[in-house]
Chains A and B, each alone.
Chain A
Amino acid sequence: MAWSYFASPATFYRLAGRMAPWFFALAAALALAGLYVAFIVAPTDAQQGEVYRVIFIHVPAAWMSMFIYFVMACYCAVALSFNTRLAAMMARALAPTGAMFTFVALWTGAFWGRPTWGTYWAWDARMTSELVLLFLYFGFIALANAFEDPRRGDRAAALLALIGVVNLPIIYFSVKWWNTLHQGSSVSFKGTSMHVAMLWGMLLMAFAAWMYAIGAALVRVRTIILERERRTQWVRTLVEAGT
Chain B
Amino acid sequence: MSHGFFIWMSYGAAALAVAVEIAGLLVRRSRALARIEEERELETQD
Contact = CB atoms under 8 A, between A and B. Distances in A.
A216 B13 contact: no
A49 B3 contact: yes
Nearest to A228: B32
A220 B32 CA distance: 11
Contact of B32 (A96, A226, A231): A226
Contacts of B4: 50
A226 B6 contact: no
B37 A50 contact: no
A167 to B, nearest CB: 21
Contacts of A239: 33, 36-37, 40
B29 A226 contact: yes
Chain B interface size range: 20 to 34
A208 to B, nearest CB: 10
A113 to B, nearest CB: 9
Interface in A23-76: 49-51, 53-54, 57-58, 61
Contacts of B32: 223, 226-227, 230
Contacts of B17: 100, 103-104
Interface in B6-30: 6-7, 9-11, 13-14, 17-18, 21-22, 24-25, 28-29
B21 A107 contact: no
Contacts of B9: 111
A97 B39 contact: no
A112 B21 contact: no
Interface of B: 1, 3-4, 6-7, 9-11, 13-14, 17-18, 21-22, 24-25, 28-29, 32-33, 35-37, 39-40
Interface of A: 49-51, 53-54, 57-58, 61, 96-97, 100, 103-104, 107-108, 111-112, 114-115, 212, 216, 219-220, 222-223, 226-227, 230-231, 235-236, 239
Given A100-B21, A239-B33, 20 more contacts: A49-B3, A50-B3, A50-B7, A97-B21, A107-B13, A108-B13, A108-B14, A111-B9, A115-B6, A216-B25, A220-B25, A220-B28, A223-B25, A223-B28, A223-B29, A226-B33, A230-B36, A231-B39, A236-B40, A239-B36
19 contacts: A50-B3, A51-B6, A53-B7, A58-B10, A61-B14, A100-B21, A104-B17, A108-B10, A111-B13, A216-B22, A220-B25, A220-B28, A223-B25, A223-B32, A226-B29, A226-B32, A227-B32, A235-B36, A239-B36
